[in-house]
C-alpha cells in the first residue's frame, strides 16, 4: 500500500480508442486494454450509442420470470458465433461469478443426472479463474491464494501439455471428478502461457470418456483475442460450459454469462416438486445495458473487418516483437497469439538467471513506461500487450519502441 505514496493513482479524464488522457493532459497508450476487457477501444461510438439509447428505455429489471428484448437478442446472436451446441445462457455480473456458476452448475448436474454426486474438481497448473472462493480454489496462483488456503477446497491439478500424466490422473480420479476447468489455449494471468490445440482436444476426449464436465473459461480469450472468435475454436471443440465476461461488453460494464448445452440444461428441467432448479442469481443478472453493449460488440465483430485487420496486425506485431526482442540480453522468451504478445524478462539470457525479486525490476519498468506515456502492467517478470483489436499499427509500433527504450534503460 505504501507504493501509492510514491506513485499515487493517476487520474484519467477521458478515453478514446487505445488512448487515455490524464487530468494533467498527459496521453497514455492503453496497451493492456484496461486489464484485457477493452476490446474495441475506449468510448467506442457504436457501443456508447447503444448504451445511451437503452438508458432511456429500461436500465434494469428483476431477471426472474422477467426478461427483455436485449437479453433475447443477445442470446440469439451468441448462438450464431459460439461453438456449436452452446445454446443455454445463465446471465450473471462478473467473471468470477460466472466461474462460480459454472462450478456449481457442473456439481449439481452430476448429482441430478442419476449417477450420484462427484465431489472433486480438476484444473490446470498456472490457471486463473477469478477471486471469489470457488474461483480461487481452482486457480493455481499462490500469490493470490496462499493466505486464504484454509478457506479453499483442494482441486486435482494437471500439467498443461503433459498428455500421458493427464491421462493417468483421469484414470485415477475421473470417477470422482465433477468438472475440469481450464483457460483454453492461453493461460493469461500466469504470464500469457500458450499450450497446444491438440492438448485441448485431448482434454475434451478425456472429459467425455470419464463423464467429467469441461468448463472453458473464455473470460480473457473470447471475442477474437486469440485470433479466433473463441479459443476453443482453435481445437474445434464445444465445452460443456463456457464462461464469458471482459470483452463481452467491450469492457464497458460488469456483465457475464455462463453458457451451456441442452444436455446440462435438461438435468435441471423438472417439476417444481422435484426441486431440480439451479438456484443462483445475482441482483444485476441480465442487466439490459450490458446486453445492448454486448450486442453492439458482436455486431462490430461480425459485420466489420475488425477481426481481419487485427489478424493482419497480429502477424506484423509478432514479427516486430521477434525482430526487436529476440536477441535482447534480458528477454528469455517471446509468446504470441492474436494481438497478445508477451516477453519474459531475465537478468541474464545466457544463464537464464531471474531478476532478484527484491529489486522490483518489472515495477520500475512499469513506472518508466508510464513516464513515457505507455500503460504497461507487468505480471511477474512478463511484459505483455493485449490491446483493443482495432488499435492502429502506428500505435503498436510506438508501444514497441517505448518498451525497447525502457529495456535499454533509456
Ligand X SMILES: *Cc1c(COP(=O)(O)O)cnc(C)c1O
- Summarize as ranges the residues that interact with ligand X (CB under 6 A): 94-96, 99, 128-130, 183, 188, 217, 219-220, 245-246
C-alpha distances in angstroms, 153 versus 72, 95, 121, 158, 215?
A: 36, 19, 9, 16, 17
Could you tell me the smallest distance in angstroms from the CB atom of residue 236 to ligand X? 21
Would you tell me how many other CB atoms lie within 10 Å of the CB of residue 329? 12
The span from the CA of 179 to the CA of 134, in Å, is 13
State which residue, 340 or 406, has the beta carbon closest to ligand X.
340
State which residue, 110 or 190, has the beta carbon closest to ligand X.
190
List beta partners, residue 132. none
Could you tell me the smallest distance in angstroms from the CB atom of residue 93 to ligand X? 9
When CB distances to ligand X are compared, the closest residue is 95
Could you tell me the smallest distance in angstroms from the CB atom of residue 115 to ligand X? 29
State which residue, 54 or 386, has the beta carbon closest to ligand X.
386
Could you tell me the smallest distance in angstroms from the CB atom of residue 139 to ligand X? 8
Could you tell me the smallest distance in angstroms from the CB atom of residue 280 to ligand X? 16
For the chain, state the CA radius of gyration: 22
The per-residue b/e assignment along 353-369, b for 16 or more CB within 10 angstroms, e otherwise, is eebeeeeebbeebbebb
Could you tell me the smallest distance in angstroms from the CB atom of residue 245 to ligand X? 5
The span from the CA of 31 to the CA of 376, in Å, is 6
Sheet holding 86-92, edge to edge: 86-92, 256-261, 241-244, 213-217, 177-182, 120-124, 156-158
State which residue, 268 or 385, has the beta carbon closest to ligand X.
385
Q: Is there a contact between 96 and 132 (Cβ–Cβ < 8 Å)?
A: yes
State which residue, 99 or 395, has the beta carbon closest to ligand X.
99
Q: Is there a contact between 163 and 200 (Cβ–Cβ < 8 Å)?
A: no
State which residue, 96 or 330, has the beta carbon closest to ligand X.
96
Could you tell me the smallest distance in angstroms from the CB atom of residue 282 to ligand X? 12
State which residue, 257 or 361, has the beta carbon closest to ligand X.
257
State which residue, 75 or 231, has the beta carbon closest to ligand X.
231
Q: Which residues contact 154 (CB under 8 A, 6 or more apart)?
A: 137
Could you tell me the smallest distance in angstroms from the CB atom of residue 286 to ligand X? 16
166 membership: H or E segment, kind and range = helix 163-173
Q: Is there a contact between 247 and 37 (Cβ–Cβ < 8 Å)?
A: yes
Amino acid at each position: 500500500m505504501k507504493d501509492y505514496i510514491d506513485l499515487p493513482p493517476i487520474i484519467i479524464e477521458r478515453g478514446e480508442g487505445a488512448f487515455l488522457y490524464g487530468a494533467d493532459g498527459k496521453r497514455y497508450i492503453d496497451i493492456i486494454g484496461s486489464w484485457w476487457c477493452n476490446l474495441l477501444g475506449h468510448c467506442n461510438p457504436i457501443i456508447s450509442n447503444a448504451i445511451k439509447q437503452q438508458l432511456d428505455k429500461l436500465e434494469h429489471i428483476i431477471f426472474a420470470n422477467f426478461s427483455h428484448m436485449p437479453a433475447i437478442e443477445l442470446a440469439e446472436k451468441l448462438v450464431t458465433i459460439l461453438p456449436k451446441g452452446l445454446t443455454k445462457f445463465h446471465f450473471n455480473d462478473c467473471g468470477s461469478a460466472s466461474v462460480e456458476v459454472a462450478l456449481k452448475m457442473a456439481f449439481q448436474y452430476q448429482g441430478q443426472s442419476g449417477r450420484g454426486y462427484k465431489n472433486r474438481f480438476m484444473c490446470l497448473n498456472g490457471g486463473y479463474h477469478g477471486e471469489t472462493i470457488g474461483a480461487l480454489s481452482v486457480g493455481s496462483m499462490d500469490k493470490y491464494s496462499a493466505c486464504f488456503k484454509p478457506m479453499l477446497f483442494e482441486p486435482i491439478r494437471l500439467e498443461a501439455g503433459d498428455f500421458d500424466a493427464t491421462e493417468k490422473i483421469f484414470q485415477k480420479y475421473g470417477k470422482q471428478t465433477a468438472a475440469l476447468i481450464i483457460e483454453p489455449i492461453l493461460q493469461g494471468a500466469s504470464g500469457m502461457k500458450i499450450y497446444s490445440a491438440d492438448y485441448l482436444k485431448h482434454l475434451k476426449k478425456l472429459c467425455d470418456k470419464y463423464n467429467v464436465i469441461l468448463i472453458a473459461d473464455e473470460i480473457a480469450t473470447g471475442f477474437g483475442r486469440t485470433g479466433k472468435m473463441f479459443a476453443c475454436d482453435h481445437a474445434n471443440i464445444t465445452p460443456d460450459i463456457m464462461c464469458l465476461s471482459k470483452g463481452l461488453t467491450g469492457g464497458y460494464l460488469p456483465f457475464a454469462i455462463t453458457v451451456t448445452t441442452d444436455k446440462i440444461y435438461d438435468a435441471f428441467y423438472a417439476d417444481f416438486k422435484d426441486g431440480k432448479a439451479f438456484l443462483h442469481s445475482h441482483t444485476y443478472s441480465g442487466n439490459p445495458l450490458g446486453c445492448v453493449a454486448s450486442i453492439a460488440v458482436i455486431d462490430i465483430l461480425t459485420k466489420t473487418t475488425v477481426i481481419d485487420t487485427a489478424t493482419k496486425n497480429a502477424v506484423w506485431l509478432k514479427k516486430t516483437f521477434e525482430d526487436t526482442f529476440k536477441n535482447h540480453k534480458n528477454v528469455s522468451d517471446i509468446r504470441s497469439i492474436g494481438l497478445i504478445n508477451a516477453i519474459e524478462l531475465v537478468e541474464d539470457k545466457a544463464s537464464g538467471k531471474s531478476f532478484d525479486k527484491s529489486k522490483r525490476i518489472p515495477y520500475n519498468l512499469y513506472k518508466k513506461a508510464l513516464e513515457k506515456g505507455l500503460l504497461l502492467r507487468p505480471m511477474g517478470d512478463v511484459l505483455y500487450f493485449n490491446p483493443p483489436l482495432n488499435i492502429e499499427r502506428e500505435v503498436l509500433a510506438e508501444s514497441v519502441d517505448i518498451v525497447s527504450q525502457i529495456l535499454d534503460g533509456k
